[in-house]
Amino acid sequence: MKQLIQILEGLGSTLQLLMRAASYAGTLPRQIGRFVEQCYTIGYTTLPIVAILSFFIGSVLALQSGHAAENFGPKQFIGLLVGLSMAAELGPVMVAVLLAGRVGSAIAAELASMKVYQEIDALETMNIPPARILVLPRLAAILVMMPVLTIIADLVGWFGGAIVAKYTHFISIEPESYFATMRQYMEFRDVWNGLVKAEVFGFVIVLVSCNIGLNTRGGPREIGASVTRAVVVSLILILVLDYFVTKALM
């Protein structure tokens, strides 16, 4: 019962924070500096790890499907398999999991320490709403950067699969053939749906992490607890939302 109340309280405070941040949307043009800084932090600094992971996920997908296709099934469909898997599921989910661990934890840690060391109280006494200068630029940045990161993850994953498909001796498919099945059978909607999912995941990760950070009470130990909670809650929400968003988009 106590946990249920905590969950409902968390949901309520998260929605309140969203409403407050949305009410300051008009101030975004004059916060362009903060927005660009967050785009850099969320997007640019996450890019290398997204590229490395998606390259190897695409490679493993090609390797596994190539190995399975040795015994049954036509190998030229490996391109389609890698393409669909990356665009519809693995691209958005993998980027979201990475962001939860890297960006969600950083946001929770920064805002929690600002709360614990009374910087948030200082903002409030200055009549500067934290939702305006700390939450809104981050939410705007994730909405812009999440599709970019997901498209890059998709492309690099496809490329990794193509390299493995060509140079693995038991697959040996030329890139032309690999990409031909992708072009032939994949639709724009497959990529689009993946981008919609990624937007939802990214937005939720940032919102939840901001809320957990801003509601931290106590000392340094609670900062660590908030970081852990932000990552765990984000991961759970990614997987739960994945099901519902996928179903809604079908």
Smallest gap, in angstroms, from Cβ of residue 94 to another protein?
Answer: 30
Smallest gap, in angstroms, from Cβ of residue 16 to another protein?
Answer: 14
The backbone region for 172, taken as left when phi is positive above 0, alpha when psi lies in -120 to 50, beta otherwise, is left
- Based on CB atoms, which residue is closest to another protein, 70 or 124? 124
**How many Å apart are CA 100 and CA 105, to the nearest integer?**
7
Helix (H) or strand (E) run with residue 157 in it: helix 136-167
- Based on CB atoms, which residue is closest to another protein, 123 or 155? 123
- Based on CB atoms, which residue is closest to another protein, 25 or 240? 25
**How many Å apart are CA 55 and CA 77, to the nearest integer?**
19
Question: Is 70 buried (19+), middle (13-18) or exposed (0-12) by CB count in 10 A?
Answer: exposed
- Based on CB atoms, which residue is closest to another protein, 22 or 248? 22
Smallest gap, in angstroms, from Cβ of residue 144 to another protein?
Answer: 22
Chain residues that interact with another protein, rule: CB under 8 A? 114, 117-119, 121-122, 124-128, 133
**How many Å apart are CA 6 and CA 229, to the nearest integer?**
13
Q: Which two tokens stand for residue 38?
A: 């967050």
